[in-house]
Structure 1
Amino acid sequence: MNRLKTVLMILAGCLAARAGMAQEPDFSVEQIPGRLLESADAVTRYSHTQIMVNDPRNMTWRVRKAITVLNPAGEDYGVAHVFYDKSRKIAELKAGIYNASGRMVRAVKEKEFTDQSAISDISIYEDTRVKYYRPGVREYPYTVFYEYEIRSSNTHYFPEWFPARSPLVSVQDAVYEVICSNGFQVRVKEMHISPGEVADNAGGARVYRWKVNDLPARGEEPFAPPSRNYLPHVMVAPVDFEYEGMKGSFSNWEQYGQWVYERLLSGRDEVPEATAAKITQLLSGAKDDREKVARVYQYVQEKNRYVSVQVGIGGLQPMQAEDVDRLSYGDCKGLVNYTKALLSVAGIPSIYTEVAAGDEQRSYFPEFASFLQGNHIILCVPLQGDTVWLECTSKEAPFNYLGTFTAGRNVLLITPEGGKVTRTPYCENSGSRREATFTMLENGEAAVEVETDFTGALYYDRYELSHANPRQADELLKKLYPLNNLYVEDWKVSHQKEETPLTKEKLLLRVRDFGSISGGRLFLPLNPLNRLERVPVHLPQRRSAVFIAESYEEKDVFEFKLPETYKAEYLPENREITKPFGKFSLSAALEGEVLVYKRVLRLNKGTYPPESYQEVIDFFQEVQQADYQKAVLLKP
């Protein structure tokens, strides 16, 4: 009898809970506090993420979210979506669209969601798909409510929780719960958020809970650090887990790296004997190991191409090296593993390396080990007195070149002894060096020859132009150099992949009415090719530190050949501005029939106090004013 009462009580509680969940929510925009509308493109009205782990082979995710989209800029935040794969099955998925008054205008069933692959050119995890629904509503504001449940037999990965997805999203109510039963243990890393609550429920499960209420949108700020450096978020990782039937345990990077090396990489680096012989012949006569690595890298680039590959254990395991060799394609994991295998033929050890690729310079946390802090694989080749880094998915990348996508961040080396956190180098010598000759005609027209070198982080700055046809190139160049009456007579982009890679752009241009003539005076724009177009906006209150991700320098030297002898009626004064975050200088001098203009703009990598932001504005205002100055030349 007592057992029956217990069952009935549990059933009643479940029904009451379901009834509460079924109540029509109030998504009226009037219910949003005014402070949550400031600086926001969207508002998270309600977000409840619950992860339940019953044992190392049984995990359930339940998510319920409501996002109010305030304007067209917030549309992407209102896309209902769920990621899944072969081991993460969608048990439930539905959505609803509500108007500004909170009335439902459309119920969306799972079959109306678009289903597609979620992989990318850099994806470390090639088995993921996404179902999404884009409302297509054009009357603002509107609210998207969606909920889903996912069940998984893998417990290696817990999603990183961000109550606010961007500084342009405010949060009315958000909750994250992790419920661990049967002694399942997790580790937690909390960033920019109050410590969560930890308690044991009546059933003996341990419950971790974080809650965020009434969080205003921070708004975007120029030169702000990456948003994850200040937005509240939580990371959770298991101590013991199961992945595709394989048990694992780790609490640090050393243990994690051992697991990856032994379970995912070991035994997958064999190449056919014929290929090994070919590599041995290829490396004959190389003067040192560095040259051998360069030859192997070029061989891999010429032979293979990037293709997403959804094979291996859960998509995390690379293809066999012999399969890449036979098929001449692979994903980032397979191409790195293949290059590593070829270097082994030459007796050169190299290291499979996880990295968080992207413009935000995400780094691995040295003190907190977890799955999928990265999204890409690169290859590290330690040499005597040097370390070479290889981006194996690109057929065009220079040898030992990491662009802003993978440079300057903590990465994880997967070695036989375990995982080791190290750092990729920053892009050095980033910038542009531009020389131009303007041959002026009597009518103010100019024939212009321009030669520009782009180095470091700017190596790919003319990538689109280098692959353009003549019509496309003409359009691109007129956007890059927005001069009135510009005619592109010839252009060429070439790449030099030597020790210091650079991209060279050569242009032959003609500009009608370049210099205006009036009353015997020639008015000559001194910097028509590289003007600073925008100045950072003024902010009533600067919240973020000033962040400059990479050092960068522009050097311009322009010579203006005049049609006859002029004397200078007005030339800008030589100027030099030096600040902790940058430097600017210019000079202009008339030397016979040639006017020589020189300009240098440098930004220094670093993080600077928020109060320096006004100084940054003043600096760029002076640069912009200087860039738009004209020389006034007078006929004698």
Structure 2
Amino acid sequence: MRRIKGQSITSPWLGILFLVLLFASGPEARAGVKIPSWLQELSSKPLPSFPPETEAVCLINNRSLTCRPDGTMIRSGRQAIKVLRPDGIDKARLLVRANTFNTKVRQMKGWVINSDDSTRSEDMKDVVTTSLSPDTLYWDVKLVALLLSEVMKDSLVGFEWEEEIKPISLEDDFFFQDYLPVLEANYSLNCPAGFEPSLLWINSRPVEPVQTITGAEKKISVAIKDIPAVKDEPLMPPSQAVSGHLLVRIKPAANLKFGRFFSSWRDIGLWYEELSGERRQPDKTIEAKVQELTSGIDNVRNRLERLAEFVQKEIRYVSIQIGLGGYQPHPAPGILANRYGDCKDKATLLAAMLKSAGFDSFYIIINIDPYSVSPAAPVSLFLFNHAILAIKLADSSLFENSEAVI
């Protein structure tokens, strides 16, 4: 199971993508360009003092989301980073977004102002698009990367971007804290007046929003200032587990063409059952395989272990995700025939085999990144990236004092 977390892309393969960009040939940056007024104004403002080891500082990190009456979302962003040390160059010069089955990147622009007043710019004509992902055979998500050239110590780098989304869930996740200090982060939401947004603060103290209603439109905005950098420590949890972020959930006045509002964890469970229920049904080939594997085994625990062992060892982990396939498993008979699948596919095949053998089972949707989800976490489709299976047992003592088989 794969997800793009509100387009906050923090993956192991991002470093590999950076190497690809460094060696990729592309158009040269344009010199002597017109710099937008907001970035020009920032270039003339004095910086507060920072510890000498600070590599770069984010001057602004802005996000805007417009939710239309049909549920379509327009999300845009603007950021500016000042490079203080040579080690901060690579942190400042790269912007990555993603085209997915329901998200289209419409615009990306970048500018550089150097200390000698030379300027550079790049835009959508200069982006590199790749489906690079080492652990996935095929994934229709395309990373869209803009890597600015001629960035150096004391450069000021600015980016703007915009994308259109036909969401599954009416929510947005704004990560305003990262490994660089941020002077100011701003979030704004525009939606129909009848919609009911809720703002949920994670790893951060709440900030009082400003709300206005003008005619048929509601606007909510928040400003967060002087955000410290996340301290990089050995063996620390992933950044999303400790970084401050704002989860925005939008409850519409009625059902929409795009997106839905999940009111509870049960709501998400029912939605996932809609996606997967028919796909975990056994057919004759599955029934025959179960009979072959369990023939002559009367002990319940041994039968369960035999089926689980088959899926663990004989079904290769191969991920193919097209469209909704990042969430929806393939049908169980096809997984058995092909002898491959990802986490949710393996769970789905095992569920079908267990059903054929007379056992009930249930998906458990989890997050494998340590400490990224807590019992107090708000209801969100963004919080999960893995699927496993729980088996309902008539006798819970079968696995006492031992590791459960999943």
Which bracket does the TM-score occupy, shorter chain normalised? Answer: 0.7 to 0.9
CA RMSD after TM alignment:
3.5
Q: Which residue, 279, 283, 300 being the options, matches 2:290?
A: 279
Higher Cα radius of gyration: 1
Instruction: State the 1:65 CA deviation.
Output: 1.3
**Residues 155 and 241, structure 1, Cα contact 8 Å, conserved in 2:** no
* Distance (Å, rounded) in 2 between the aligned partners of 1:149 and 1:189: 23
**Residues 93 and 151, structure 2, Cα contact 8 Å, conserved in 1:** no
**Residues 285 and 333, structure 2, Cα contact 8 Å, conserved in 1:** no
**Residues 290 and 356, structure 2, Cα contact 8 Å, conserved in 1:** yes
Partner residue, 1:162: 175
Q: Deviations over 1:187-242 (max 9, x none)?
A: 32113133231412324422222212233335335676665565432111233599
The change in CA–CA distance for 1:224 and 1:296 in structure 2 (over 3 A counts) is: closer
Q: Which residue, 219, 226, 244 being the options, matches 1:232?
A: 244
User: Aligned runs of 1:271-350 on 2, under 5 Å?
Assistant: 271-311=282-322, 313=324, 315-350=326-361
Instruction: State the 1:49 CA deviation.
Output: 0.4
* Distance (Å, rounded) in 1 between the aligned partners of 2:349 and 2:95: 38
* Distance (Å, rounded) in 1 between the aligned partners of 2:292 and 2:243: 54
> Larger relative CO (CA 8 A, sep 6+): 1 or 2?
2
Structure showing the higher helix proportion among its residues = 2
Instruction: State the 1:363 CA deviation.
Output: 1.7
Q: Which residue, 375, 386, 396 being the options, matches 1:376?
A: 386
Instruction: State the 1:29 CA deviation.
Output: 8.9
Q: Deviations over 1:392-443 (max 9, x none)?
A: xxxxxxx8589xxxxxxxxxxxxxxxxxxxxxxxxxxxxxxxxxxxxxxxxx
Instruction: State the 1:365 CA deviation.
Output: 4.6
Instruction: State the 1:145 CA deviation.
Output: 1.5
- The normalised TM-score by structure 1 is 0.52
Instruction: State the 1:158 CA deviation.
Output: 3.1
State the AA in 2 paired with 1:346.
A
Instruction: State the 1:303 CA deviation.
Output: 2.8
User: Aligned runs of 1:62-73 on 2, under 5 Å?
Assistant: 62-71=76-85, 73=87
- The normalised TM-score by structure 2 is 0.78
Structure 1 segments unaligned to the other structure (5+ residues): 1-18, 389-398, 403-636
**Residues 312 and 318, structure 1, Cα contact 8 Å, conserved in 2:** no
**Residues 289 and 348, structure 1, Cα contact 8 Å, conserved in 2:** no
Which deviates more, 136-145 or 59-68?
Answer: 136-145
Q: Is the aligned partner of 1:50 residue 2:64? A: yes
Q: Is the aligned partner of 1:362 residue 2:375? A: no
Q: Is the aligned partner of 1:87 residue 2:102? A: yes
Q: Deviations over 1:155-189 (max 9, x none)?
A: 615332121223xx101221011222142223321
Which deviates more, 59-68 or 23-32?
Answer: 23-32
Q: Deviations over 1:2-39 (max 9, x none)?
A: xxxxxxxxxxxxxxxxx99655524549732113x555
Partner residue, 1:205: 217
State the AA in 2 paired with 1:80.
L
Q: Is the aligned partner of 1:97 residue 2:107? A: no
Q: Secondary structure at the match of 1:235?
A: strand
Instruction: State the 1:63 CA deviation.
Output: 0.8
Partner residue, 1:476: none
Q: Secondary structure at the match of 2:305?
A: helix
Partner residue, 1:116: 130
Q: Secondary structure at the match of 1:32?
A: coil
The change in CA–CA distance for 1:122 and 1:203 in structure 2 (over 3 A counts) is: farther
Instruction: State the 1:282 CA deviation.
Output: 0.8
State the AA in 1 paired with 2:303.
K
* Distance (Å, rounded) in 2 between the aligned partners of 1:242 and 1:112: 41
**Residues 241 and 371, structure 2, Cα contact 8 Å, conserved in 1:** no
* Distance (Å, rounded) in 2 between the aligned partners of 1:249 and 1:305: 35
* Distance (Å, rounded) in 2 between the aligned partners of 1:199 and 1:286: 65
State the AA in 2 paired with 1:322.
P
* Distance (Å, rounded) in 1 between the aligned partners of 2:164 and 2:254: 14
The change in CA–CA distance for 1:387 and 1:97 in structure 2 (over 3 A counts) is: farther
Partner residue, 2:271: 259
**Residues 54 and 180, structure 1, Cα contact 8 Å, conserved in 2:** yes
Instruction: State the 1:337 CA deviation.
Output: 1.2
* Distance (Å, rounded) in 2 between the aligned partners of 1:387 and 1:88: 46
**Residues 271 and 325, structure 1, Cα contact 8 Å, conserved in 2:** no
Q: Secondary structure at the match of 1:260?
A: helix
Report sequence identity in percent: 24
* Distance (Å, rounded) in 2 between the aligned partners of 1:61 and 1:78: 21
The change in CA–CA distance for 1:154 and 1:217 in structure 2 (over 3 A counts) is: closer
Instruction: State the 1:364 CA deviation.
Output: 4.8
Q: Secondary structure at the match of 1:52?
A: strand
State the AA in 1 paired with 2:71.
R
User: Aligned runs of 1:395-406 on 2, under 5 Å?
Assistant: 400=404
The runs of 4+ residues in structure 1 deviating greater than 6 Å are 241-244
Q: Secondary structure at the match of 2:268?
A: helix
